Amino acid sequence: MERRNARRALMYALHRLDIEVINSRICATITSLEPQNSLLLLGGVGSALRELVEVSISCCNDTLADRDSLRDDDVAWIPCRMRCVDGERWILERLEVFEAGCPKIAVLLNVDDIPCASVMESKLRALLDTRSDQTLFIATATKREDVPPSLLRSLRLSVDHQVVMPSKAQRCDAVAALGSHLDEILTPSQVLELSTRMPGYDFLDFLQVFYRTQARIADFKNTNIYRRILAEVETTRPRILMSEGAELVRFPPMWGTKHSGLQSVLGYNRLKEEITKYCDWPFLCEKSFARLGIEPPSGILLEGPSGCGKTLMANALGVHMTFANFLPVNATDLLAKYLGDSEKNIRNLFSLARRAQPCIVFIDELDAIASTRRDDDPNGAADRRILGALLTELDGMNEGDRVFLLACSNRADLLDPALIRPGRIDHVFHVPLPTQVDRFSIIERLTEDFHVIESDRTELVQSLTSRTVGFSCAELVGLFDRATSVALTQNPNCIELTKDNFLSFVETPLLENLINQTRAVV
């Protein structure tokens, strides 16, 4: 009973407006005020449309008199998803049972799974034509375009209602309900903090956090419930990120590690502040932009030499921005060999981002799909279509969508000029080779990671910093890898590295050879 009440409270907090829409039709049908058109509910992954209808019926019974309340036999649940070989026969039997009875409401689940021109489609079509004046049909589907067209014509499933993602205010209500059912009264600041960290969360995501927190509380007595909820939120990825288009997303292995935030990127302090500011503005300063009557930045580009940490910085930024979903994609993964599939992948990616908004789309190696259009290019027609699809999606981001583009490229000079302009990519940040201060902090971290004895680190860091002018971050790591390999060659049982292991390289031409080898390889 406790879990059932929690599910109902969460659903009502997240989808109160949707429940009111369904209630109005159910109440009008029961009280025979006026005939109601059938309703098609559209919702993405995590919406739990069946649960939404159940809660709506339950809320409707609370408002109606006892003589008008719905009994179990007044509601017919008809699943349309064929899960086995005999699935269609079983569904047809359910339809015959429905036809023999006289329910007031018929709930058709997953009508987008009905095959076109099938026996099941013709049976449903006949029921909608003959029983729509006696029964209110409520159908559920993920996409309207996947529903057989014959079921969408007038007087059948002609009225559709889109169940949208919960807003921040609705998430606040859900977090408060979550805390109350865990016997914890969360403060307003805690509610705001948790709801800010749950972008893209829907009913099933909240339910997962509730069940996991409840289990942890049972395992560990006297635990801080707020911190436990926060820990579960940090490890729960919204289900919306698993819908169509999610196969293109590649989350980096750094996520969830202790060095997964911006603190994992050493040096570049001024640049990190500027990039963070440009990414924060569109989501945290919406009212300020609206008051000034201007559009917020819609995208930025990180460009610079290879190996300077552009991709690492972008992924760390995605971990840092807990108030928005982050979709990292490699540009080459958007390319496909069949005509039109590359453009479809781009559309699916940005469609996923709009469903999961507020959202940041990170495209690495942008020059692979957005190079300058040339007439003499043999693949020019395909490249123009791909670039056109990308430009169209970027233009659509300014129409109220809370979607931001973050891109990286080693060759910004190859990008099409139509891409680098306000309204698409507003600002270009140059990520240069690390300065002496940056190299010092990077080498200092590397001496820790490569287990150099603490008493020898200072002298070693200063020596290597002065001798690696012009090195990129990747070249510094490669230099340590090669130097450590030489040390292990000299002593295979080596556990810790000492100053002598490195200074022997400094005092001989071996370090110069290692530097030249590293530059040749990296």
| 108 and 182 co-located in one domain | no
| 391 and 480 co-located in one domain | no
- pLDDT band (50, 70, 90) for residue 54: confident
Question: Three-state SS across 328-364?
Answer: EEEHHHHCCCCCCHHHHHHHHHHHHHHHCCCEEEEEE
Which pLDDT tens digit goes with each residue over 342-363? Answer: 888 888 888 888 887 788 899 9
Whole-angstrom distance, CA of residue 175 vs CA of residue 188: 10
Q: Which of 163, 172, 164, 180 is nearest to 5 (CA)?
A: 180
Is 1 a residue whose pLDDT tops 60?
A: no
- pLDDT band (50, 70, 90) for residue 254: very low
Is the pLDDT higher at 204 or at 81?
204
CB 163 within 8 A of CB 42: yes
| 326 and 232 co-located in one domain | no
Full residue range of the structural domain in which residue 459 is found: 436-521
Is 414 a residue whose pLDDT tops 80?
A: yes
| 419 and 446 co-located in one domain | no
**Residue range 233-237: mean pLDDT, rounded:** 80
Is the pLDDT higher at 44 or at 367?
367
Is 413 a residue whose pLDDT tops 80?
A: yes
Q: Which of 437, 10, 327 is nearest to 182 (CA)?
A: 10
Whole-angstrom distance, CA of residue 143 vs CA of residue 244: 11
Q: Which residues pair with 161 in a beta bridge?
A: 41
pLDDT of 460: 76
Final residue of a domain: which of 209, 241, 273? 241
| 155 and 38 co-located in one domain | yes
| 391 and 326 co-located in one domain | yes
**Amino acid (one-letter) located at 97:** V
Whole-angstrom distance, CA of residue 414 vs CA of residue 425: 15
pLDDT of 255: 46
Q: pTM above the 0.85 mark?
A: no
- pLDDT band (50, 70, 90) for residue 376: low
Q: Quote the mean pLDDT of the chain.
A: 78
Whole-angstrom distance, CA of residue 214 vs CA of residue 448: 39
- pLDDT band (50, 70, 90) for residue 256: very low
| 214 and 228 co-located in one domain | yes
| 183 and 142 co-located in one domain | no
- pLDDT band (50, 70, 90) for residue 302: very high
Pick the range with the lowest mean pLDDT from 114-123, 254-263, 299-308, 428-437.
Answer: 254-263
| 284 and 426 co-located in one domain | yes
Q: Is 67 exposed, middle or buried (0-12, 13-18, 19+ CB in 10 A)?
A: exposed
Q: Rg of the chain's alpha carbons, rounded to an integer?
A: 29
Handedness of CA 417, 423, 425, 429 (dihedral sign): positive
Final residue of a domain: which of 365, 399, 430? 430
pLDDT of 64: 65
CATH of the domain at 417: 3.40.50.300
Whole-angstrom distance, CA of residue 472 vs CA of residue 306: 8
- pLDDT band (50, 70, 90) for residue 408: very high
Length of the chain: 522
Count of domains in the chain?
Answer: 4
Whole-angstrom distance, CA of residue 221 vs CA of residue 228: 12
User: What is residue 36's DSSP assignment?
Assistant: -
Is 305 a residue whose pLDDT tops 60?
A: yes
Is 251 a residue whose pLDDT tops 80?
A: no
CATH of the domain at 499: 1.10.8
| 139 and 254 co-located in one domain | no
Is 20 a residue whose pLDDT tops 60?
A: yes
pLDDT of 320: 78
Interhelix angle 168-181/188-196, rounded to 10 degrees, is 120
Is 437 a residue whose pLDDT tops 50?
A: yes
| 487 and 424 co-located in one domain | no
Which pLDDT tens digit goes with each residue over 83-137? Answer: 544 555 666 666 666 666 667 788 888 888 888 877 778 878 887 777 767 778 8
Q: Sheet of 359-364: strands edge to edge?
A: 325-330, 359-364, 403-409, 299-303, 427-430
| 233 and 313 co-located in one domain | no
Please report which residue ranges of 108-224 form alpha helices under DSSP H: 119-131, 168-181, 188-196, 203-219
In three-state secondary structure terms, 513 is helix
Which pLDDT tens digit goes with each residue over 448-464? Answer: 777 777 666 777 788 78
Final residue of a domain: which of 195, 222, 241? 241
